Amino acid sequence: MGARLNNLLRGSIAALRGARFLAYPKGMSRSLCSVRLALKPLVTVLQSLERGWQAVRQLSGDDGYERYLAHRAAAHPGMPALPRHAWFVHHQQQKWSGIKRCC
């Protein structure tokens, strides 16, 4: 559900930010521009929500696989990346193996 919400927010922002009104007659473009300006606060709110959602995903570690893929593409471009399931298993083993106490 998180990816769905993220895609919905991104799609809404992209549609409002880059909407083109070239198919409408000349008289319509001015009124549509005013509608676009009226929707600008909504775009700002949607951008804030998107940034907040990304922060929540980062703090919870939900975007770990995407960060892993970005690292692999930047640091090791020729090597294949692990599939999501294999990465998750490896990540869990790294996280929970070994001694996890202070003394």
pLDDT tens, position by position, 10-68 = 666 666 666 554 444 455 555 666 776 777 888 888 889 999 999 999 998 889 999 99
pLDDT tens, position by position, 68-84 = 999 999 999 989 999 99
Domains of the chain: which residue ranges?
2-87
**0.75 cut: is pTM over it?**
no
CA distance 26 to 33: 11
CA distance 19 to 38: 13
* DSSP per residue, 23-72: TS-HHHHHHHHHHHHHTHHHHHHHHHHHHHHHHHHHHHTTTHHHHHHHHH
